[in-house]
Structure 1
Amino acid sequence: MFQNLAYAKRFQQHLESTTFPENPAHLYDPIRYILALAGKRIRPLLVLMGAELFDKDTVEAALPASTAIEFFHNFSLIHDDIMDRAPLRRGEPTVHHKWDDTIAILSGDALLVKSYAELAKCEAAKVAELLHVFNKLAIEVCEGQQLDMDFEKLERVQEEEYIQMIRLKTSVLLGGALQMGAIIGHADAEAQALIYDFGVNLGIAFQLQDDILDVYGDPETFGKQVGGDILSNKKTILYIKLKELISETDRPLLEDLLNSTTIADAEKIENMKALYAKYTIKALADKRKEEFTAVAYEKLHAIKIADERKEPLFALADALMHREK
């Protein structure tokens, strides 16, 4: 996985300098815990990369905004894990599992408040514009999560509905992080729109790649159970395309796979993969992923800055689209 080590190191230093009180321990210990479960840190790094793209001297000034994005992302993970009843996050017990739901809810709330405290540390002249972008992406992430929960109860979800859900739940946070960096880097409105669109389209492609890896990834490198989406009947791009294309002859087989409570996990995964192969579902999913990746690259190319300045972002995009985990 591509990672700008200089950015990552500087961000980590700044994050560690942001301390939380010792008491109440049940409020702040879970915050320290989730922040220590370091993920890829892609979102805060995008803030720094967005700032440097337009003005390399503003990276330091972008650190509070990058921290706000990281705090918000982890707040959303704490609450999402409660809603999903997820036992693990990044290979460790989730906050609600390690403590309980009420502690997790309140710690998540506190982390959201702390994200606004970080934004308040940004240059005063930029705060209003940063808040506008941050508030927009924050409410859209909530909308995306609600749509995802609604989809669990629907018999059929259209591809366009799914794309809109992942755009809100996942992608606007990437686009917003880049735009906030661009604001700090003094980018004009046109450049901000382009860098935002780059991030959003890259985020959609990233999620489609995640859907594909869940079925076809290498168990040694994927980092979670391959076939987990199949076992939970999750409405991914592969599921949606199969439901759309399957013949009336094969539909009863699919319904049996989705509804059976006796079929073994391994058998369900293999039978579903066989249906995916019959209808070339992986190729169709790959095509949609590549379409969104192409749009992302087009938006980045369109920014009126020398291409060599954009190389770190192209390298990140390439790594995300060719990852195995």
Structure 2
Amino acid sequence: MLHSAETLNKKIEETIQNISFDLKPASLYEPMRYVLSHGGKRVRPLMTLLATNLFSGSIEESLKPAIGIEIFHNSTLVHDDLIDNSDMRRGKPAVHKKWDANTAILSGQAMQIESFKYMASVPSDLLPQVMELFSTTAMEVCRGQQLDLDFEKREDVSESEYIEMIMLKTAVLLACSLKLGATMARAQTRDAELLYNYGINMGLAFQLKDDLLDVYGNPETFGKNIGGDIVSNKKTYLLIKALKTSDKEQHAELLKWITAEKFDKEEKIEAVKNIYNALNLKSISENLIEKYYLAALDCLSSINVANERKKELISLSENLMYREK
């Protein structure tokens, strides 16, 4: 039976909203409930269920590990917000702002433990594979986060280093979600690997699109302030490319804004964006996004199932690539 993404999303949302966090102390569990109640795209658990559906596997069997992926993802957001000192997440105060930093650390950690419990609920014959995949991915996400932090102190980050960082920080969890669904459906190893590589390429395209939207997105649809990465000197693909390809005058101006301790935010955003425009970085970035997107679709087309079964994943891919937020 083929399930629509809409049906699967509804199942995911109902399951998440019905999670009980009634243990004590409430001060540990309330932030967990708070974070998960905010919705979000639920892309990762949806990918797990769509991957299971691709190979005609049991949606019910895959539901718990899919929710485990979403709990883990949200735990990383709690810690990311604390590290970045972000005020808001999905239009609500971040956990460390609503409570405090210690609560964010502990509740994020508790969510990670909870995610492993959900993952361990899979059938015993699949448990070693699933736990190996998930634990490896969890460590890769930590590696990616640390690289991101390391890059903040460097001005010489290369494009290849940046691609490696976003692969670890963002892409591997999408890839894991998909391979998890394939594993739960007992798909052939080759098909599960193709689906994993589809996820890696989609994840790279997804993060590069996010970088692009932060500068060129519509403030009304993006969901957060435009230019946040510029203000915080985030080593995005755009900034790395600008530092590499700018002429002497442009490079000096970039460094002036990067090192300035006091500045007008709007003035900085406009000045840096003008340099990006002069270097044609919007178009260059869009071409790179397209490259990874097409590579992802190529992996998907090589999977040995009927094209009819791939329609929902293709539709999800299009939504992620052509989104405005």
Report the Cα distance in structure 2 between the residues aligned to 1:260 and 1:85, rounded to whole angstroms.
Answer: 19
Give TM-score, length-normalised by structure 2.
0.96
Residue 271, structure 1, aligned to residue 271, structure 2: yes
Residue 170, structure 1, aligned to residue 173, structure 2: no
| 3-state SS, counterpart of residue 249 of structure 2 | coil
Q: One-letter code of the match for 2:48? A: V
Give TM-score, length-normalised by structure 1.
0.96
Q: CA deviation at 1:250?
A: 2.4
> What does the per-residue CA deviation read over 1:122-162, in whole Å, with 9 as the maximum and x for residues that have no partner?
11211111111101110000000000000000122100000
> What does the per-residue CA deviation read over 1:159-182, in whole Å, with 9 as the maximum and x for residues that have no partner?
000000000000000000000000
Stretches of 4+ aligned residues off by more than 3 angstroms:
none
> What does the per-residue CA deviation read over 1:14-37, in whole Å, with 9 as the maximum and x for residues that have no partner?
223331224201110010000011
> What does the per-residue CA deviation read over 1:106-129, in whole Å, with 9 as the maximum and x for residues that have no partner?
111111111111122211211111
Q: One-letter code of the match for 1:76? A: T
Q: CA deviation at 1:47?
A: 0.7
Residue 154, structure 1, aligned to residue 154, structure 2: yes
Q: CA deviation at 1:97?
A: 1.2
Which residue does the alignment assign to 1:257? Answer: 257
Which residue does the alignment assign to 2:206? Answer: 206
Contact 2:61 2:184 survives alignment (8 Å): yes
Give percent identity, aligned residues only: 43
Report the Cα distance in structure 2 between the residues aligned to 1:107 and 1:261, rounded to whole angstroms.
Answer: 33
| 3-state SS, counterpart of residue 126 of structure 2 | helix
Q: CA deviation at 1:89?
A: 1.0
Which residue does the alignment assign to 1:303? Answer: 303
Q: CA deviation at 1:259?
A: 2.3
Report the Cα distance in structure 2 between the residues aligned to 1:251 and 1:117, rounded to whole angstroms.
Answer: 50
Report the Cα distance in structure 1 between the residues aligned to 2:17 and 2:288, rounded to whole angstroms.
Answer: 39
Which blocks of at least 5 consecutive residues in structure 1 are unaligned? none
> What does the per-residue CA deviation read over 1:242-287, in whole Å, with 9 as the maximum and x for residues that have no partner?
1010111322222222223444222211111111111111111111
Residue 5, structure 1, aligned to residue 6, structure 2: yes
199-208 or 270-279: bigger deviation: 270-279
Contact 2:17 2:37 survives alignment (8 Å): no
Which residue does the alignment assign to 2:92? Answer: 92
Residue 47, structure 1, aligned to residue 48, structure 2: yes
Report the Cα distance in structure 2 between the residues aligned to 1:13 and 1:251, rounded to whole angstroms.
Answer: 51
Report the Cα distance in structure 2 between the residues aligned to 1:79 and 1:250, rounded to whole angstroms.
Answer: 35
Which residue does the alignment assign to 1:181? Answer: 181
Contact 2:120 2:131 survives alignment (8 Å): no
Question: 1:235-246, aligned counterparts within 5 Å?
Answer: 235-246=235-246
| 3-state SS, counterpart of residue 249 of structure 1 | helix
Report the Cα distance in structure 2 between the residues aligned to 1:249 and 1:73, rounded to whole angstroms.
Answer: 42
Q: 1:261 to 1:102 in 2, by over 3 A?
A: closer
Report the Cα distance in structure 2 between the residues aligned to 1:144 and 1:250, rounded to whole angstroms.
Answer: 30
Which residue does the alignment assign to 2:118? Answer: 118
| 3-state SS, counterpart of residue 118 of structure 1 | helix
| 3-state SS, counterpart of residue 125 of structure 2 | helix
Which residue does the alignment assign to 1:232? Answer: 232
Q: 1:268 to 1:19 in 2, by over 3 A?
A: same
Q: One-letter code of the match for 1:69? A: I
RMSD of equivalent CA atoms: 1.2
Q: 1:83 to 1:263 in 2, by over 3 A?
A: closer
> What does the per-residue CA deviation read over 1:284-316, in whole Å, with 9 as the maximum and x for residues that have no partner?
111111111111011000101111110111111
Which residue does the alignment assign to 1:191? Answer: 191
Aligned residues: 322
Residue 130, structure 1, aligned to residue 130, structure 2: yes
Residue 32, structure 1, aligned to residue 53, structure 2: no
Q: One-letter code of the match for 1:34? A: V
Q: CA deviation at 1:215?
A: 0.6
Q: One-letter code of the match for 1:324? A: E
Q: CA deviation at 1:66?
A: 0.5
Report the Cα distance in structure 2 between the residues aligned to 1:259 and 1:17, rounded to whole angstroms.
Answer: 48
Q: CA deviation at 1:72?
A: 0.6
Residue 284, structure 1, aligned to residue 284, structure 2: yes
Report the Cα distance in structure 2 between the residues aligned to 1:234 and 1:27, rounded to whole angstroms.
Answer: 31
| 3-state SS, counterpart of residue 248 of structure 2 | coil
Which blocks of at least 5 consecutive residues in structure 2 are unaligned? none
Report the Cα distance in structure 2 between the residues aligned to 1:30 and 1:250, rounded to whole angstroms.
Answer: 45
Report the Cα distance in structure 1 between the residues aligned to 2:120 and 2:251, rounded to whole angstroms.
Answer: 55
Contact 2:175 2:199 survives alignment (8 Å): yes
